[in-house]
Amino acid sequence: MSGLRVVPAFRHGRERLYVCRADGAGVAWYDRGTGRVDLLAEDERDAVLQALHPFLTGPVTVGPPPVPTPAELARLTLHPDDDLAPNRPGEALLVALDRHPGPAHRLRPDPRRRALTAEQAVGGALDGLEGAGWHTLHSVPLPGGDRIHHLVIGPGGLFAVHALYARRARVRIVDPLVALGRREAEPLLRPLRSAADRASYALTAEVRPLLALVGPAEVTVVAQPRGVRILREPELADLARLGGVLKPADVEALHGMARDRNVWLRV
């Protein structure tokens, strides 16, 4: 027996299997998506492959980890408390509901849970863009208690995304007002533009506002809002077709900057 154990972990919707010694020290990891085994100790190659054998799903490439780029090295210096990348979709709402779940019996559904449903649906769709060269950060905190639901960075540029629960409702948009069904219209596009502007200032790059509607029965846009993209949740996959704005190195550099919580303290 090699004494090695395999520990699964999930990041951004992808599974990675870590191979560890009995003392917990890692010696390798296997990424199912790329079919690659990154090996830290060449003399343990045979033992690592033996431990991973039940989990391998096809041919694999085995070798040392690639040399990190300057952007990756910068990310490695982040304190875990300052790294926003591990945030789950709806992270802020999940924490709030865990701390203050509210009464067990309510006459009306807790609006936070509907908002969480929207953020999780939109966040899942955006995380699916990773294979096309995009990165998504969830629940990006802003001073004053505000936050950006999702910040998306990719070849097509940067977007500050606001997820809106609109299940089976008729949505009517008259800039800056957004009305859901018979509810009174709210000027939702103003804070969305403001959040995008604040993100642009923090990252010194243009960030465009995007309103993502989850489950609407009908959407009526009286006039296309200035500078705001409006998409239904299934249409978010179309962002993968956008390009020509950022090079891969720029995407990585901006993502490395944006995931640092301290970057957002000055906006």
pLDDT tens string 86-106: 999 999 999 999 888 877 666
**DSSP notation for 78-111:** S-GGGB-TTPPTTHHHHHHHHH----SS-SS--H
Average pLDDT, the chain: 89
Share of the chain above pLDDT 70, in %: 91
pLDDT of 57 above 70: yes
Does the predicted model carry a pTM greater than 0.85?
Answer: no
pLDDT of 73 above 70: no
pLDDT in tens, 4-15: 889 887 654 567
Q: What is the pLDDT of residue 1?
A: 46
Q: What are phi and psi of 137, to 5 degrees?
A: -110, 135
- Collect contacts of 189-193 with beta carbons under 8 A, ≥24 apart: 189/225, 189/228, 191/146, 191/162, 192/160, 192/162, 192/228, 193/227, 193/228
Task: pLDDT band for 195, please (50, 70, 90 cuts).
Answer: very high
Bigger pLDDT: 121 or 68?
Answer: 121
Helical pair 248-258 and 189-203, crossing angle rounded to 10 deg: 100
Question: Cβ-count burial of 191 within 10 angstroms (0-12 exposed, 13-18 middle, 19+ buried)?
Answer: middle
Q: What is the pLDDT of residue 14?
A: 64
pLDDT of 64 above 90: no
E strand or H helix that includes residue 133: none
Q: How many CB atoms lie within 10 A of CB 238?
A: 11
Distance (Å, whole) CA 136 – CA 194:
19
DSSP summary character for residue 42: G
Comparing 62-71, 110-119, 204-213, 222-231, the range with the smallest average pLDDT is: 62-71
Task: pLDDT band for 171, please (50, 70, 90 cuts).
Answer: very high
Residue closest to 152 by CA, chosen among 116, 196, 214, 91: 196
How far does CA 144 lie from the centroid of its chain? 22
pLDDT in tens, 12-34: 456 788 888 877 677 888 988 78
Q: Which amino acid is at 230?
A: I
Distance (Å, whole) CA 254 – CA 240:
18
